[in-house]
Amino acid sequence: MRLSRIGRVSLALVASVALGLGITACGSGTVAYLWVLGTQYNQIAGFKVDHYSGNLTQVVGSPFSSNGTNPISIAVKPGGRYVYVVNKGVAASGTTPATPGNIALFSVGGDGTLTFQQSYTSRGNTPVWATVDTTGSYLYVLDSEYPDTPEYPNPNHLGAITVFVIDNNTGRLQLVPNQQIKDSNQTQLTFFPVGPAPTMMRTSGSCLFTMDTGDQTIFPYAVGANGQLTLTANSTIATGAGQLTSITANGTYVYLTDANPTPDSPGGRVLPYTVGTGSAACSLNTLTGGPVNNLPLTSNPVYSMVDNKGKTLYVLNRSSLDPNNKASSISAFTIDPTTGKLQFLGTGGSPSAGNPYPIDAGPVCMVEDPTNQWAYTSNNIAGTISGKRLDSNSGELRELPRNSTFPTVGQPTCMALSPSVN
């Protein structure tokens, strides 16, 4: 059947509107799946990210059980087929016994459905963070403390990293023993010690950095063959921070956030470093110019993220020093491609209009979609996800074209994206 000219124009208009609304056949408008943890009901909310609008729609069957208690960290194997959720567990209280933590493995279906596979136990106590290496071969799980035993005492309450090798076909985990350190019985440890009260870690090239809030230091390991973590010449890196809250990496640069207020920077600071090489591998060297103050009137920076192109650093602020506006926000900094130095995203050394960018209350984590168009924050106090349109050239953030706030599971903590499933 041949269409008239009017019919062809009408059909073209319908197609144009469909694209603008993110309506496509066979779900081809879904560019990623977004997973958001919630501690109130121990659940994982799953969303489809629309390629054309950034809009979020729930995955069928969402929310899913986290298969543990107090889910706080999530990691995705490259390729998007497997998701790992760290359930922190709950300490004993009165007559109520403790609930141990675990790592729950899920497979991702073609429609974004999460299917629980099995749980694993880290070698330390109270897992708090997880990350997958860039090759998708190893899962690193951070524990608040390693076990205090007569054979290997822990009087200083140091933390630990448990290393698992990931089966490429099933996503299942197998423990990697520590071949570098033995206990008093000459038995290999099943973990890799770090500093006190660790809360977060990041990989940068062949280095793995752990942020220790017990003494405001960074503990570096070099990543060797077969998943082994090797101690470097600088086993502990002092930061001079008063309250470390996050660490993020961008190539050879590492950025820390310090929420401790100072007279010069009442809203906290960003501490920029370069990563050492050669004999100084995995050391951190303070970037020329030193710490960078947070944006005016922002307060309590808790998380940081570098965009996919490495051009912009975003810092989540839970509160504000503006007596008339206590909203949470995102501070944006431009990263110099040659030196790694930071400056306010704007012109003439001043923040651009809208920077910092308002979001819902109590942000915890931030992610960017693989097409470099959309960014999202999980907001613990508001119980929502805030969405933003991201300009990958300028780094500026704008409201989504349709809807910028999405309800999620109770008391959301961290989040992650499965950019594709293959």
In this prediction, residue 7 carries a pLDDT of 43
Q: What is the percent of the chain with per-residue pLDDT over 70, rounded to a whole number?
A: 93
Return the higher-pLDDT residue of 281 and 166: 166
Taking residues 64-92, report their average pLDDT.
Answer: 96
d(CA 197, CA 64): 30
d(CA 330, CA 354): 10
Label residue 2 by pLDDT band (50, 70, 90): very low
Contacts of 408 by beta carbon, 8 Å cutoff, 6+ apart: 36, 38, 45, 378, 383, 384, 385
The pTM of this model reads 0.91
Say whether pLDDT at 126 is over 60: yes
CATH code: domain 30-418 is 2.130.10.10
Which of 254, 247, 246, 372 is CA-nearest to residue 308?
Answer: 372
In this prediction, residue 28 carries a pLDDT of 59
- Interior/surface letters 180-218, b for 16+ CB within 10 angstroms, e for the rest: eeeeeeeeebbbbbbbbbbbbbbbbebbbbbbbbbebbb
In this prediction, residue 326 carries a pLDDT of 86
Mean pLDDT for the chain overall: 91
In this prediction, residue 233 carries a pLDDT of 75
Contact 379, 362 (CB under 8 A): yes
Burial of 393 by CB count in 10 Å (0-12 exposed, 13-18 middle, 19+ buried)?
A: exposed
Domain ranges of the chain: 30-418
Contact 344, 333 (CB under 8 A): yes
Phi, psi dihedrals of residue 176, rounded to the nearest 5°: -110, 110
